[in-house]
Amino acid sequence: MKVGVIGGGQLARMMIPEAIALGIDLKVFAESEGMSAEKSTTVVGDYTNAEQLGWFADGVDVITFDHEHVPITTLQQVEKSGTSVQPPSEALQFAQNKLLMRTRLSEAGLPMPEWEEIKTPDQLGRFISSHGGRVIVKTPIGGYDGKGVRVISDANEVEDWFANIDKLGGSLLAEQLVEFVSEIAVLSARRPSGEWRAWPAVETVQLNGVCSQVIAPAPNVNQRQALEIAERIAAELQVTGVMAVEMFQTRDGELLINELAMRPHNSGHFTIDGSITSQFEQHLRAVLDLPLGLTDLTSEVSVMVNLLGTEKGTDFLENFADTMYRFPEAKIHTYGKSPRAGRKMGHITMVGDDLETVRSRALLAAAVISGS
């Protein structure tokens, strides 16, 4: 079985050991030399180039993704040539374009913040006035990790986006600023024949728009409701492979859909050490339409802490031994990236029976390894 992954980042990197265990020949189309998944990189090139991508697709049984940025028209050409694309372009478009996603999920009657497609500053001004004076504005395409998202109280605060609106798809997305008590994510997987499995909903903690911690399972959340929302989305959009549904939990316990990702996701990294089946193994099973693995947690609690690059420019390697000595229960994962402030360089996972103990030790271990 040959699986081609478009994108050479850490998600592709973490598929490699799972592919080896399953006897899968994993091939990676990387954007540049020396990326995280270089051990399985077979092509370095431009994934927006239909000819290059077509050549890569001809050598594998199925195409899947480390990111969602491949143009839909290019993927459609690959599909027409006969190579399986999972998730298919018909589903992936809703992860690429937030306006398409909002429109489709609204049609399905799924819970979301109030939103509106915005084309002019005057229209945005009216939306701001009717939603408490402060709203969220997003670029419909291309945003991630807090990029392409602004909290504003005046349309002038996105004047630069209006000036370049044609490059952003012709519209902006305005959303109600939700007062939430926590941010929730549900990771699930679906295969083309329809089987679906989910891990328990997790709580994510953000720092400067980037995920800092993940707590599994999420405390004080209606797990059944969260998983039902994720299952409906997977079925409605015909998603295959792993999907992350990010949600807000309001003070009254309501869950509102925030964003979607159709690939393994940062909020699911805990599954490597904290679940019977990791999200990376499950993704490979799903895109090949193989039976899915169990998603039960192996401990009462798992906590994952991202290792974000600091101004010091450290790659954390000098502190590995000390961290391992002081926290022998810590599972350390590195991404092989050059250091940059705020960049996801790796993560630490700890599991156990008591949330406060596990969380405090995971945070201490992250502080030691980052030298802070």
Q: What is the pLDDT of residue 146?
A: 58
With beta carbons less than 8 A apart as the criterion, state whether 112 and 257 touch.
Answer: yes
* pLDDT above 80: residue 331: yes
**Last residue within a domain, chosen from 42, 66, 85:** 85
- Is 279 domain-assigned? yes
Q: Which residue range is the domain that position 125 belongs to?
A: 114-176
Q: What is the pLDDT of residue 143?
A: 62
Instruction: Please state, for a pLDDT cut of 90, what percent of the chain lies above it.
Output: 89
Rounded alpha-carbon distances, angstroms, from residue 260 to 42, 54, 128, 253, 279? 29, 27, 24, 20, 16
- Is 90 domain-assigned? no
Q: What is the pLDDT of residue 205?
A: 95
User: For the purposes of burial, counting CB atoms within 10 Å of the CB of 143, is it exposed (0-12), middle (13-18) or buried (19 or more)?
Assistant: middle
What does the pLDDT look like over 57-98, one tens digit per residue?
Answer: 999 999 999 999 999 999 999 999 999 999 999 999 999 999
What does the pLDDT look like over 239-262, one tens digit per residue?
Answer: 999 999 999 999 999 999 999 999
| 215 and 260 both lie in a single domain | yes
Token pair of 187 as six digits: 């990771």
- Is 72 domain-assigned? yes
* pLDDT above 60: residue 18: yes
| 237 and 166 both lie in a single domain | no
This model's pTM is above 0.75: yes
Q: What secondary structure letter does DSSP report for 207?
A: E
| 146 and 226 both lie in a single domain | no
Confidence of residue 340 (pLDDT cuts 50, 70, 90): confident
| 136 and 34 both lie in a single domain | no
Q: What is the pLDDT of residue 157?
A: 97
Name the least confident of 19-28, 86-95, 141-150.
141-150
Name the least confident of 19-23, 144-148, 200-204.
144-148
| 185 and 328 both lie in a single domain | yes
| 160 and 251 both lie in a single domain | no
CATH number at residue 55: 3.40.50.20
Alpha helices by DSSP H, 62-111? 72-80, 89-96, 98-107
How far is Cα 89 from Cα 244, in angstroms, rounded to an integer?
Answer: 17
| 218 and 251 both lie in a single domain | yes
| 172 and 194 both lie in a single domain | no
Closest CA relative to residue 162, chosen from 115, 121, 116: 121
- Is 336 domain-assigned? yes
CATH number at residue 205: 3.30.470.20
Mean pLDDT in the chain?
95
What does the pLDDT look like over 261-305, one tens digit per residue?
Answer: 999 999 999 999 999 999 999 999 999 999 999 999 999 999 999
Query: 13 by DSSP, 3-state: which?
Result: helix
Would the CA dihedral through 331, 63, 286, 94 be positive or negative? positive
Confidence of residue 49 (pLDDT cuts 50, 70, 90): very high
Q: What is the DSSP string of 264-304?
A: --GGGTTHHHHBSS-HHHHHHHHHTTPPPPP--BSSSEEEE
* pLDDT above 90: residue 341: no
**Residue where the block lists tokens 């994108």:** 7
- Is 264 domain-assigned? yes
- Is 275 domain-assigned? yes
| 191 and 247 both lie in a single domain | yes
For the chain, the domain total comes to: 3
Query: 34 by DSSP, 3-state: which?
Result: coil
**Last residue within a domain, chosen from 176, 210, 230:** 176
Closest CA relative to residue 63, chosen from 79, 86, 43, 82: 86
| 134 and 187 both lie in a single domain | no
Q: What is the pLDDT of residue 229?
A: 98
- Is 134 domain-assigned? yes
Q: What is the pLDDT of residue 201?
A: 98
Token pair of 85 as six digits: 């694309």
- Is 121 domain-assigned? yes
Strand order in the sheet with 149-152: 115-118, 172-176, 135-138, 149-152
Q: What is the pLDDT of residue 117?
A: 98
Name the least confident of 19-28, 140-149, 289-298.
140-149
| 148 and 289 both lie in a single domain | no
Q: Which residues pair with 189 in a beta bridge?
A: 197, 242
Name the least confident of 15-29, 144-158, 191-205, 229-243.
144-158
Rounded to an integer, the average pLDDT of 110-125 is 97
Rounded to an integer, the average pLDDT of 177-183 is 95
| 340 and 193 both lie in a single domain | yes
**Last residue within a domain, chosen from 125, 143, 176:** 176
276: number of Cβ within 10 Å:
14
* pLDDT above 90: residue 209: no
Q: What is the pLDDT of residue 145?
A: 55
